[in-house]
Amino acid sequence: MTKTKNWFKGLTGLFLMGGLASADVAPKHIPAGYSVDTIQIPDEIVLGVGGMEFHPDGHLFICTREGEVWRYKDDKWSLFADGLHEPLGIYIDQKTKEVWVMQRPELTKLVDEDGDNVADVYETVNSSWGLTDNYHEYSFGLVRDRYGNFYGTLNTSLSWRGWAGSHRWDIGRVHDSKMGRSAFYRGWSFQVTLDGRFVPWSSGLRSPAGIGISPDGDIFYTDNQGDWNGTSSLHHVVKGRFHGHPSSLTDHPGYQVASASTDVKLLSDYKDHERKVAATVKRLNKISVTDYEKLRTPPAIWFPHGELASSPGEPVWDLTEGKFGPFAGQVFVGDQTKSNMMRAHLEKVQGEFQGIVFDFVDPMHCGAMRNRFGPDNALWVGQTGRGWGSVGGKRFGLERIFWDGKTTPMEMHHVSLTKDGFTIVFTKPVDKKSAADAASYKIKHWGYEYRAEYGSPKVGTTDVKPSRITVAEDGKSVHLSMDLVKDRVYEFIIQSGLTGAGGSKFTNPRGWYTLNYLR
pLDDT at residue 182, rounded to an integer: 86
pLDDT, block means (10 residues), the chain with 519 residues: 69 51 70 97 97 98 98 97 98 98 98 97 97 92 97 92 67 89 94 97 98 98 97 98 97 81 47 82 96 98 96 97 98 96 98 98 95 98 85 92 98 98 98 97 98 97 98 98 98 96 94 98
Which residues are registered as beta bridge partners of 91? 100
pLDDT at residue 230, rounded to an integer: 98
Q: 127 in helix, strand or coil?
A: coil
SS3 content of the chain, % helix, strand, coil (to 5): 10, 40, 50
Assigned fold of 412-515: Immunoglobulin-like (2.60.40)
Task: Report which DSSP code applies to 504.
Answer: P
CA distance 346 to 199: 27
Count of beta carbons in the 10 Å neighbourhood of residue 357: 28
Ordered by start, the domain boundaries in the chain are: 18-47+300-409, 57-62+69-127, 134-227+243-298, 412-515
Residues in Cβ contact with 388 at an 8 Å cutoff, skipping those fewer than 6 apart: 311, 336, 337, 367
Count of beta carbons in the 10 Å neighbourhood of residue 164: 11
Q: For residues 371 and 312, is the Cβ–Cβ distance under 8 A?
A: no
Task: Report which DSSP code applies to 252.
Answer: -
- Predicted TM-score (pTM) of the model is 0.95
pLDDT at residue 21, rounded to an integer: 44
Burial of 481 from C-beta contacts in 10 A (0-12 / 13-18 / 19+): middle
Burial of 183 from C-beta contacts in 10 A (0-12 / 13-18 / 19+): buried
β-bridge pairing 396-403 and 379-384: antiparallel
CA distance 59 to 352: 37
Angle among Cα 336, 390, 87 to the nearest 5 degrees reads: 45
Residues in Cβ contact with 156 at an 8 Å cutoff, skipping those fewer than 6 apart: 136, 137, 172, 179, 180, 181, 186, 187, 205, 206, 207, 245, 247, 248
pLDDT at residue 19, rounded to an integer: 53
Task: Report which DSSP code applies to 134.
Answer: -
CA distance 255 to 356: 35
